Amino acid sequence: MADFETRVLENGLLIEEIPVELRTEKICINALKWGLKIYKTNDYKHQREMCFRIMNSFPKEILLTGFVVGHLSQFA
């Protein structure tokens, strides 16, 4: 799956073109990094809106699970 996630950003595939069942937390993170890297701007409002649009195109369950696991692992 890691190879697929890399190709998503390299070939310019739109998030909407990825089937919902294949949209993972890793792809979301890569899309956020890519978006902030490509669309450099000092306008934080624009950056925040872009991040919200990217995150809203992913299933909420995936993002919530990743957030909880990532933050709870520091207490284990």
Residue 15 near residue 51 (C-beta atoms within 8 A) = no
Distance CA(18)–CA(37), nearest Å, equals 21
Q: What angle, rounded to 10 degrees, do the helices at 25-38 and 2-10 form? A: 30
Q: Model pTM greater than 0.75?
A: no
All structural domains of the chain with their residue ranges: 4-10+22-73
Confidence class for position 1, pLDDT limits 50, 70, 90: very low
Query: pLDDT (tens digit, 9 = 90+) per residue, 35-74?
Result: 777 777 777 888 888 888 888 888 888 777 766 666 555 5
Residue 52 near residue 33 (C-beta atoms within 8 A) = no
